Amino acid sequence: MNTPSKIVISGATGFLGKFIITSLSSKGYDICVLSRNAVKARKSLGEAHQYVQWNGELSAELQSAIEGSKAVIHLAGANVAGARWSETYKREIMESRKQGTSVIAQAIALAEIPPEVWFSTSAIGYYGNGGDEIKNEHSTAASDFLSKVCQEWESATIPAETVCRVVRGRIGVVLDKREGALAKMLVPFRLWFGGWLGSGRQWLSWVHYSDVVGMIVWAIENTLVRGAVNIVSPNPVTMKKFADTLGKVLGRPSWFPVPEFLLKLVLGEQAWIVTAGQRVMPEVAKQLGYTFQFKELETAMKDLLR
C-alpha cells in the first residue's frame, strides 16, 4: 500500500504558509492549496502545486481534496491585529476561526479515507493574561475575548478526532522582520525612538518563524504528537528584556517606553494583545524531542536581522 504524500493547506498565502510549503515540498510532499482565490494563490505560490477554490463552505471540491491525504494544515483566520476591535470585527475574528475549522472537521469526518493527521492552528491567547505563572498544555483556559476565541477554535476540531490524529498548535508571538510584533518595533528602534510597550513586566512567549515551520512539520510526521502543542521558544522573556535585546542587536538604545494608557487610547481593547502577557512553555515539544533551531532570543534576532 502506497503511503499518502498529499498535504492539504488552507491559509497558505501568508508568510508562514509559504515557508511551510517550501519545507514540505523539499521533503517530497505534494501540496494542495485551498484558497478563496485560487488564481491569486497560484501567482503567489507558483505552478508546482495543486490549487482548489474553497469559499469556506462544505463542498465536493473540499471533500475531494481531503480524501486520502497525508495531512491537512489549517492556517486561515482573520488577523487579530488587523483592525480596531469593534464588536463587528470581534465577531469576524471569532467566526473566521470557528466556521472554516468546523467545515474542515466535517469534511474529515465524512471522508472515506481520512487524512492521517490534521494540524489546526490556535494561539497561546488560550491562557489569557497569566502574570508570572508558567503555563503549559495542561493549564486551564482564561475567560477574556481571545481565550474564548481559542477555545471555540479548538472545540471546532473535535468531530475529526474520531477518524484521525488532531494536533492543535497554540502559536506564540512569531518573530519575523517582515510581519508581526518584531517588524512593527523595528522602525522606532532604527529611528532611535525604541522602547518597551506597556509596563515591560509582561511576559512574551516568542518563537522564530523557522521553529513554527519546524514544529508543524515535526507534528505531522511524529505520530506521538496529538492534542494541544505550545509552539513557543523554551525561553520566554519579559517585554522589557525583549526591547533591550532588540536594541542591543540593532546597536540602538531602548529608552522610549510606550505607557499602557497610551496604547489603550490608540488601540482600544486591542491593546490587550501587547499589554497582557503569557509565560508559556513548550512541554509537549520538550518531552517528545523536538529540536529547537532558536532557543535564545538574541540568537534568533541576530539571525532575523543580519
Alpha helix positions (H), the chain:
15-26, 38-45, 60-66, 87-110, 145-155, 180-190, 209-221, 239-250, 260-267, 272-275, 283-288, 297-305
Cross-strand bridge partners of residue 175? 208
CATH class of the domain whose range is 6-174+208-232: alpha beta
Q: What is the pLDDT of residue 3?
A: 65
Three-state DSSP at 302 gives helix
Within 13 Å and on the Cβ side, how many CA atoms surround 260? 13
Q: What is the pLDDT of residue 2?
A: 55
- Local confidence pLDDT in tens for the 306 residues of the chain: 456 799 999 988 888 999 999 999 999 999 999 998 999 999 999 998 999 999 889 999 999 999 999 999 999 777 777 778 888 988 998 898 899 999 999 999 999 999 999 999 999 999 999 889 999 999 999 999 999 999 999 999 999 999 999 999 999 999 999 888 888 889 889 888 888 988 999 999 999 999 999 999 999 999 999 999 999 999 999 999 999 999 999 999 998 888 787 777 666 776 767 778 899 999 999 999 999 999 999 999 999 998
pTM: 0.93
Q: What is the pLDDT of residue 96?
A: 86
Calculate the alpha carbon distances from 197 to 128, 158, 174, 240 in Å: 18, 37, 17, 8
Q: What is the pLDDT of residue 276?
A: 85
Within 13 Å and on the Cβ side, how many CA atoms surround 113? 10
Q: What is the pLDDT of residue 267?
A: 66
- CA 273, CA 275: separation in Å to the nearest integer? 6
- CA 138, CA 243: separation in Å to the nearest integer? 30
Q: What is the pLDDT of residue 80?
A: 79
For 208, the grid coordinates are 522564530
